[in-house]
Structure 1
């Protein structure tokens, strides 16, 4: 017999008091005999089976009833009671799916169906060890660097047991069952905290000894009758670190370079490294020492890991015949080293560890490789001394003027050769050079206004050609700085204009240009020539752009004016200006209307043809006369003055014929000036130039 629970005895006492109060009379104390009821989960049967009997002393009780969990509440239909008070179990009960105590109400019924007694009843479900511990994952995998410190967490596993955690059935421990492969450099262990286990190790990980460890971990409960367990597989991948130093193993290549060569590979250095090929721990980085002038560079071949030594600056045999270098090597990531000095039982092992820091001097860890690069002597080209010469001259200097003398030197003493000077680039053909002496002279008038002159300078190149085999060439540069002369006169930018007679103001702007630079150019002085009183005037008379003003006495029609334009030094030209005056309300462009009328009619065509014949004959006679006389004269004007112009000399009289023809087409009678050598001094813009004789 087992003792009744305290709660049950207390419940019986309360029930006795209640029965006494309900009956209204004194009853005889009843004796209750009851076992401690319990059900073992997953009982195999056979069913039904009895778990105990409720006994009540009464001669008139005829029936017992049960209500609650296990009867008419979940889990239903598991329990029942017969007329004698025996409690039966009709099926299996799961501790994990049910409450560990079933609460029921017990009733004793009389023949008249009256409830004679009512009290509570508890049935405890006993847990059995029917669940093994279960890992959260069947396989765990992690990657750690081989520089990972011992006693530092590697991996944590989790497990749980559905059995009662307050009993041995639901309590478990972790155990490392196996480690593959077994190496002497590391020892794994597990630390447990409740339902988690953390993997640690002692020693040094070494990628070269094991790239992966497979650990089998068991979780086993402490069941009293039986112990249940399960396992999980832990995969620990080891990543390679730089725990092997690179070592020089050899060199290939000529180890020499010809002087003046650059971008040439001269040597390849081979290294060996036990770290994983292609990894940062394997890739080599080279450093050149004793190269103050940075003549060399070294790069890493990404495939072979060789160091490729290249010459990047030209070397001169006369300055040095060889260059001594030393080359060091390290990897792309810091070096790491771990060695076991003592295996201490039940404690961390004693280690000797090195972890390189690029910020500190760790050159003692690495080897250096001595290299000597030899310079080969080759034939040197001549060298101009100096390579660039600047000369300052006045434009329009005489042809044949000596500008400067270039000198060159053969720097190669062992291959001394003779050389000659040759003109190189001379875009406008200004100079010549004496092939023996290097003297540079002019062969053309130097014109500062030439299109080949940029910012007042003209550049030519010269060569010194050596007669060796193969022939070599040195290059010199001549920069000619030209001072300006007043060798151009101002001319009108446009020599046609239109003025409206019926609009105010009755004026038009005129502008002159001069190719010379200050003080030989603008501003200019303007003066109208001929019978212009009370007809035309210029306002102001001084400037670059001025206004031509028409007086009221000028009527519609075509007017030809002559304007004298002088620069600041008194050099001048007399320009013809064709002015058309008309009513703009009828014809917007007066000059086009006038020009169109001139070209109409057969008479104008006949006169034009006759003028061409006369001009042809005149030009022919003038050409003969120019050769005999050394004086200037102007055709088409009686105002002949002594003039000169060295700008754009020509000898073709047909140009003058074309100009006169153009004037006839426009109705312009304009003078054109010639020198005493028969060369026209006018521009292509219908301008007659007059320059003082004393200029």
Structure 2
């Protein structure tokens, strides 16, 4: 810091000396800085040429970071027409005017009132003007000038990163480039040496060096070995002022890691390895491990092992465990203690990847001797085959022999063997085994369609040592027997148009058989013998396990029969053959002219066909007439203050009125034939309606049986209601038909006629006479002959 203050003071002195010399030179030459050079006229009109200045007035300098007690004099502005009487006023404007730079409006001296930093701003552009002090009239045009901030060395060099990390291969040649570090200086690189940097190494010799001008770090020692030292810490300094005394400096740390190269071969730590193996060991079992050490890392330290010689080369093998870099010796074939008791192997360890640069150093491999001793053991039984496959027919009786397994004791003692089934593999206990001879039998009939193969495991154990046991898998194939009849492959359903032509195809069916293909190579489709000459449909076998159903005639009617059930016999080709009868439902449907199905619902068809536009209009008209009648009737009843329904002696016969005939009392039966009510047999048949002419003729609805002669009126009414409900051509009138009849020999009074002289009733007979024929017409529409309830 003391060096910085001294440098600043020296620069301030130099600047002040420079400006004082400039002003002295100006006084000596009688030159004063003005705004712009221009011509002036003398008193006699003579044009005078202004003298040329000896320095550029419109560029001033001020040193940065000045911390003196007084403002710094930047420069002086003066106009040639200023006679010194104070009539001229100097004005300063522009960047920093009034805040950073102030001007004495009389003398034109410019001072900097604040400390300036060139790294924040290098120059300021200002505008000067001379005006009349009294009138503010410009005396000269405005003139622009620049104030430059002069740099001092006040910023130390800074590296781009605080720490660097670099790698270089071990055993690299001297001068190998490692990394380049870069520093920057915020000072002005165009002024002096404030930003001229020089790099040097403070820590890291004698292993590394740095180029002074570029900052490139290079290796300085040959054959640096990673296995000896892997990581180095280097400190680099950057100093300005070209590295001279008084310059500022900055440092950074560089961590350099030596990367591995394959410069070391693998080495066994010992010359002989001793191992042992039991004769009971199975192939693939581990015998022992060897390891060759390689100080290299990564792929350079990978080692592979091989057996190159020895008398056990056929019985043993070695593999590499790349996680532990060990050689694993395994048993390749079983060994027998009674045959040979010791083996010797020669094992070689070599690098997987070899660097050609270091091959001259010698072979990158090593060998070792491995001696293996065979140990005696009580061996478990051995099956004569590694697995067994047996066959048995399905549905075979319990106790049928499936096959046999056989094992023996390989030891000299030759202990007896006992067999058992692993019940975890035979949970349903389909099989049993003879423990002495190993014969396997069934315990129940088997079904191939449930499972075609059954897999079990059989144990063989020594009688004297139950722990010595062996296990063998047994696969049992269930042979197929033709015990399943073929059936439809899917729930088929056929559709046929009413306009179907002769022998038109309806649907194609196929079949499935759970038995094996050997018992059903081809299916045969036919009709049962009793309907072989079916008049409606026929079956054609396509001889490819499918059959086509065809119409045997043309023209079907949904009104007569809307669906057919067609039995089809399907037989397989097994021995003996199996067959089944499957029923195909064929629906009769309505179709358009192109044969596309429209509807297969018979009732919907009847309704759609029976109600035409004219019928609907007639129905609506009838409804309107009924509503008008009801409204008029209710209105008249209210005027006479009578109830809508007359309950006189609880006798509903008051509601029965005869029309179109005056009558002669109860004995007169010509106008009203009561026999019709007593015997409705004659009207049980289908009676077409008079209001609507149906477009199609329909058969009488089934299920309506004729009533006997002794039936009373209630049964007759129920019969007529049921007929009306089931008649699709009936108009949808919401009306009620009520018939009153007490039977023969009634003691009730006779019914009044329209012309009766009885005066006890308040009925309006003129109204009833006018509407009588209309009620009769409505009664005819509903199928009634002579009577109609007046409240309807």
Q: TM-score range by the shorter chain?
A: 0.3 to 0.5
Q: Which has the higher helix share?
A: 2
Asked which structure has the greater RCO (Cα within 8 Å, sep 6+), the reply is: 1
Q: Which has the higher strand share?
A: 1
Give the number of the structure whose alpha-carbon radius of gyration is greater.
2
Q: TM-score, normalised by structure 2?
A: 0.42
